Structure 1
Amino acid sequence: MNLNLRRPDTGRSSFALAAAFASCLLLTVPSCRIPKLCCAERGPALPDTYNGVTSAESSAQIGWCEFFADPTLTSLLSESLAGNQELKILTQDIRIANYEIMARKGDYLPFVNIGGSAGLDKSSRFTRNGAVEDQLLVAPGKPFPEPLPNFLLAADVSWEIDIWRKLRNARDAASLRYLGTRDGQNYVVTRLIAEVAEDYYELMALDNRLLALNRTIEIQEQSLETAKALKEGARGTELAVQRFQAEVRKNQSERLIIQQEIVEVENRINFNCGRYPQTVARNSAGYLDLQLHALSLGVPAQLLQNRADIRQAERELQAAGLDVRVARARFYPSLNIRAGVGYEAFNTNYLFMSPESLVYNAVGELVAPVINKKAIRAAYLSANAEQLQRVYEYQRTVLNAYTEVINQVAKVENYGQSIEIKKQQLQALEDSVDTATKLFQNARAEYIDVLLSQRDLQDAKMVLIETKQQQLAAVVNAYQALGGGGNAGTMLVASNTIAPPELRMLPEPGDEPPMIEVLPSTNGPPPGFELLPTPSSAPSEPKESMLSWPIQG
């Protein structure tokens, strides 16, 4: 704070002030041309359909409580949303982004400081100040005290006038990044829901693999006893006994490995729920016939609205456009106003006597860079390069989202058909094992036929269970790829009293980066916590894609 206020020289003429101000205005003309910016390559247009398939509704409109009808699973999902540490970390990221808005908002408002000072000053008699003070009197017959005290109580104001919207654009960029951080948390929510659901169905698959393996061991132990009986009756050999014994031991070893996998998957779920290892409840009966909610694809344009990662990339792109404007404004002059007013006296008895003890000043500065603007040019071009990165990142995010939907939907369809065929294969293998076992018991078939039949049946069961697991995982991932799991349901996010403005993208012709119109928010979020707004997922007119925005300079 500048407390060294002095009464201005009243002899300064208004003509000199006008001349000084006119000289400052000469700085408004930049001394060199602002460099041209690079432009982004147009991305591929978003298709109108998913390989010819569309629907009126999208599964993203369905809340995860409805999509996953299993009460045990929905309970785990609720616990994971409440206890997951990654979401709590992201909540603090949202707080940090909110505080950045507060800081940016303060930059374009006046800075007002108030304070006081007290001191002593003793000048040498053999200096100009000492010699002058020796000849001066405070009052008739009363010299200045020695040493000379000084008391000051004053307030000063400094204010950079945001004539080029440099500071407000920085604030709006911070608001966009705040919204992007919230979208980023929503995307993590969708991934968390998908991961917990996928692990839950994998746990059910492991239970069924363990059940199938136990059944295979029982059958092979019966065959082992049969081989021993045939050997004792001189109708078999020790080789058959040894081969069946080895097969039983192999599957018993495999059972332990599956049990270890169950422990690890359970603990992955526990970790995502933010709790220590414990048994995860589930109902694995009827696993092979389990059917999830039917998928509805909607239209690809809805991805721009439903996918939180796309919305986050869009916010980052908009913020990067504002960063270019902030960097551009540094080429232009900045207008700063500084003023102060207060009371100053060498004795506290005279401190508040007006106008004798009153001091004030006011200064306006209009300053523009003239020489050595390389740092400003570098920052401007760097902001443009980062803007281009955000353009390509947005294009990449949209392309990835569309590809994920196509891959997962095709996987659901193909794996579903594969399961039906594998069920037929399994039935044939079960019949072959039954036939081979009966023939072996009557010494009409070799042990190797029984062994191979049992092995083929076990492999077919395991493949069928794994295929079912992959199909359920594909349904879960398709639901997430469409944007489901983040738009519906309730999620608490820490907030502050700052309400970021609503932002709407506006096209701008010419060589400027994309403009952003800032619309003031009507209602701020309540203090403490708030419910994240649920974007409407109803089919509407397709939103203009930023895949083909030209960014030019």
Structure 2
Amino acid sequence: MKKFITISSLVPILFIAGCSQIPSYEHPKTELPKTWPSENAGLVLQMNVDDKSWWQQLSGDQSLQTLIDEALEHNSDIALAKLNLLQAQSLLKQSQSSRFPEIGLTAGLSRTQTSDEAYPQFTQTSYGNFSLGTLLSYELDLWGKVDALNQQAEANLNATQADYQTVKLTVSAAVANAYLNLMALNQDVELAENTVQSRKEALELRQTQLEYGSVTPLSVHQAEAELASVELAFNQQQVQRDLQLHALAVLVGRSPKSLMTMSRETLQTNKLTLIESLPLPNILPSELLERRPDILAAEQRLIAANANIGLAKAALFPSISLTGLVGFQSEALNRLFAAGSNNWNASADINAPIFDYGRRQTNVEVSEIEKQAMLIQYQQTIRTAFKEVLDAMTQLEGSYKQLEAQQHQVTALQQTLDLAQTRFDAGYSSYLEVLDAQRNLFSAELSQVAVKLTYSTALVNLYKALGGNWETQTAKNPSIKG
């Protein structure tokens, strides 16, 4: 027992803190604007909002939020990102375990008989060997290698967690854009279908007028050609809508069976409308660095690269491994725990690099270069983030102005069609004027839907560019309003 106490007294030595080789980390300085461009500032409103209310106002119903929830549950990219997160958590636990000594149990039993013909001759004998003990081993962290490993693993975990949030945000925005596109295509199909019906009625009228001799066959053929043109557009819009529906089903994680049985009637949508009061939090440019998960992930990878330098530098110094064994050993199993059968052993091994052709020093240089690369990637991520915000604001403002002009065009073309029809019915012009007016109005109405889609998509892009998750992000960062 006294010998066991002697060995135990050495255990505190195992936890000697080493001298860290990790360079001091400083948060990269970035020159940021104090406010967003003044001409776009009016698009960012100071109003309280949560994600569900935001999506509902955007789509006009609960369907979009339901699809986003389905995607967050079943999307493959999110599932893979979650597995990467679980793996990073396990790697951190694995790294943290190296702080403590490894304790194992050893046991052995054997029976040996010597040869009479071996030297010394005529000394044949048989004996047993039974042992039971506890083995303790530990590598002293004199140079901060364990600390560097832990910091690296923790930073990688934080980066992976931010990646997970990035994927969720990206998928949510992708589902929203796909749903908005489906809304626009449904509206286009309805518009084309109504146009086909009106062209059929016009053709029937021209055929009746031909029978009474009030129009020539040319007018009938022109009406037939116009009907075929809008029928072609109608079929094309149907195909595009079905393709978009299939893409949306894959995005939300529908099974192949569900995908095969889907029909165009399975998802009805509202019409796209001009949303002038959709609330967005009043986020300052500096707060974007704290909200965007991709920026957070880039900085955490920079921190991990900084810790990796310390790990490479620690490898330049000697490593000391301690081993201790406390147990019992006896020739007979029934006397394994008898008095005097206890044994112990303690050892220390030193492994010091002398000449490795510069391999360890090269690892330090490589790790320093990797840190510089991570810094460049971090700075580029910030540039991309601000570009996406400015692009979304520009697109939002531009499409809003385009909508005003497009509405004026549709109104004017509707009046043009009414006048052209009146002139034709009165015999003052040919049917060609009516056809031109019909084509122009149909094209303008489709363009109006396209501009509304651009405007709504810009709102989603701005949501994504600002980091999304209004309610969640606001709870984490009190400085974010709304």
Q: Does the TM-score normalized on the shorter chain lie above 0.5?
A: yes
Q: Distance in 2 between matches of 1:245 and 1:464?
A: 26
Q: Distance in 2 between matches of 1:191 and 1:292?
A: 24
Tell me by how many angstroms 1:296 deviates. 4.4
Tell me by how many angstroms 1:376 deviates. 1.6
Which range moved further: 423-432 or 238-247? 238-247
Tell me by how many angstroms 1:312 deviates. 1.0
Q: Distance in 1 between matches of 2:450 and 2:137?
A: 69
Percent of aligned pairs sharing the same letter: 22
Q: Secondary structure at the match of 1:371?
A: coil
Q: Secondary structure at the match of 1:352?
A: coil
Q: Which runs of structure 2 are paired with 1:354-393 in the superposition (5 Å)?
A: 354-355=339-340, 357-393=341-377
Tell me by how many angstroms 1:206 deviates. 1.2
Indicate conservation of the 8 Å contact 1:55/1:296, yes or no.
no
**Pairwise CA RMSD:** 3.0
Task: Say yes or no: does 1:463 pair with 2:450.
Answer: no
Indicate conservation of the 8 Å contact 1:305/1:311, yes or no.
yes
Q: Distance in 2 between matches of 1:208 and 1:440?
A: 30
Q: Distance in 1 between matches of 2:293 and 2:421?
A: 57
Q: 1:195 aligns with which of 147, 150, 174?
A: 174
Q: 1:427 aligns with which of 411, 436, 440?
A: 411
Q: Distance in 2 between matches of 1:63 and 1:288?
A: 21
Q: Secondary structure at the match of 2:476?
A: coil
Q: Residue 49 of structure 1 aligns to which amino acid in structure 2?
A: T
Q: 1:47 aligns with which of 20, 24, 33?
A: 33
Q: 1:118 aligns with which of 78, 88, 109?
A: 109
Change beyond 3 A, Cα 1:101–1:46: same
Indicate conservation of the 8 Å contact 1:297/1:482, yes or no.
no
Q: 1:445 aligns with which of 412, 429, 437?
A: 429
Q: Distance in 1 between matches of 2:323 and 2:229?
A: 85
Tell me by how many angstroms 1:373 deviates. 4.7
Indicate conservation of the 8 Å contact 1:199/1:269, yes or no.
yes
Describe the superposition over 1:193-247 as per-residue Cα deviations: whole angstroms up to 9, x where unpaired: 2112212221211121112212222332233234334433444333332232122
Indicate conservation of the 8 Å contact 2:49/2:279, yes or no.
no
Indicate conservation of the 8 Å contact 1:305/1:535, yes or no.
no
Q: 1:347 aligns with which of 332, 340, 351?
A: 332
Q: 1:209 aligns with which of 179, 188, 202?
A: 188
1:141 aligned residue: none
Tell me by how many angstroms 1:533 deviates. 11
Q: Secondary structure at the match of 2:337?
A: coil
TM-score (norm 1): 0.74
Aligned residues: 448
Q: Which runs of structure 2 are paired with 1:47-446 in the superposition (5 Å)?
A: 47-52=33-38, 62-69=49-56, 70-125=61-116, 127=118, 130=120, 134=123, 146-275=125-254, 276-277=258-259, 278=262, 280-285=266-271, 287-291=272-276, 293-355=278-340, 357-446=341-430
Tell me by how many angstroms 1:266 deviates. 2.4
Indicate conservation of the 8 Å contact 2:92/2:153, yes or no.
yes
Whichever structure has more helix as a proportion of its residues is: 2
Indicate conservation of the 8 Å contact 1:173/1:319, yes or no.
yes
TM-score (norm 2): 0.85
Q: Secondary structure at the match of 2:273?
A: helix
Indicate conservation of the 8 Å contact 1:77/1:196, yes or no.
yes
Q: Distance in 2 between matches of 1:54 and 1:339?
A: 69
Q: Secondary structure at the match of 1:288?
A: coil
Gaps of 5+ in 1: 1-6, 8-27, 29-33, 135-144, 490-531, 541-553
Describe the superposition over 1:295-344 as per-residue Cα deviations: whole angstroms up to 9, x where unpaired: 34521111111111111111111111111111111001112101112222
Tell me by how many angstroms 1:73 deviates. 2.1
Q: Distance in 2 between matches of 1:537 and 1:396?
A: 27
Tell me by how many angstroms 1:371 deviates. 0.8
Q: Residue 341 of structure 1 aligns to which amino acid in structure 2?
A: V
Indicate conservation of the 8 Å contact 1:67/1:292, yes or no.
no
Change beyond 3 A, Cα 1:56–1:294: closer
